[in-house]
Amino acid sequence: MLEVSELEAGYGAHKVLNGLSMRIAKGQVVALLGGNGAGKTTTLSAIMGLIPAWAGRVSVDGQAVQSLPAHRVFRAGVALVPQWRELFTEMSVSEHLELGAIKCAPRREIRERMESVLDYLPELRSHLHRRAGTLSGGQQQMVAIARALTSRPKLLMLDEPSMGLAPMVVGELGRTIRRLNEAGASILLVEQNVHLALEVASYVYVIRGGAIVAEGDRARFDDEAELFQSYIG
């Protein structure tokens, strides 16, 4: 479903990704783990087209997207929930969900998509008319995920979704990710919270220095000492 091959990218003259390769099958939850500065967010940004790929290939269902701008990658079926949610604080929850479905022309289809997403995130129904800026951190994270889901993406990418959330809310986030996956969602999860990542992912990649240095089924990384060693080399 997602194929990344020998991807290189960076900022200015500074190269961050050094021939990174990974793949995600349809309906799979994959975790991308690594230390600070390893290249996790840069990987998502390059896949999404927010920064240009210097070399390599990114394909979604066989369609090459590495040279496309972000809005065309979005239309190809990739949605990103960025760090810190990046919501419009004065917009309502309902308006954020509509924004996620902006590529839909008929109003009826937008409403259908919103209802479908609310079936998976029912806790948002009572907040539809509230401004996003008045919600708790956990509620805002659910709005950001819902906004992405109304585009009906082939791949949902989550960048540090547990950041800044209380432990109880992180537990609910994990249940939400599992629920979405059970409904068929393909998810690429970047997380510093290793426990959350290993709870929900079936496959793990470890990135260091902009390249994949370890990978395998989740069970391989039950030994956190091995995972930590992968982080530091």
pLDDT in tens, 101-139: 877 657 788 888 999 999 889 989 999 999 999 999 999
Q: Give percent of the chain with pLDDT exceeding 90.
A: 76
Structure tokens at 224: 């956190």
Which residue shows structure tokens 């990384």?
Answer: 221
Contact 64, 57 (CB under 8 A): yes
pTM: 0.93
Both structure tokens of 63: 């369609």
CB atoms within 10 A of CB 81: 23
Name the pLDDT band for 226 (thresholds 50, 70, 90).
Answer: low
Q: In what helix (H) or strand (E) does residue 111 lie, and over which residues does it extend?
A: helix 107-120
Residue 225 has pLDDT above 60, yes or no: no
**Sheet containing strand 203-208, strands side by side:** 78-81, 155-159, 187-190, 29-33, 203-208, 211-217
- Assign 221 a pLDDT band (cuts: 50, 70, 90): confident
Mean pLDDT of 176-202: 93
The pLDDT confidence band at residue 232, using thresholds 50, 70 and 90, is: low
Each residue of 72-96: pLDDT tens digit?
999 999 999 998 888 999 999 999 9
User: DSSP letter string over 112-160?
Assistant: HHHHHHHHH-GGGGGGTTSBGGGS-HHHHHHHHHHHHHTT--SEEEEES
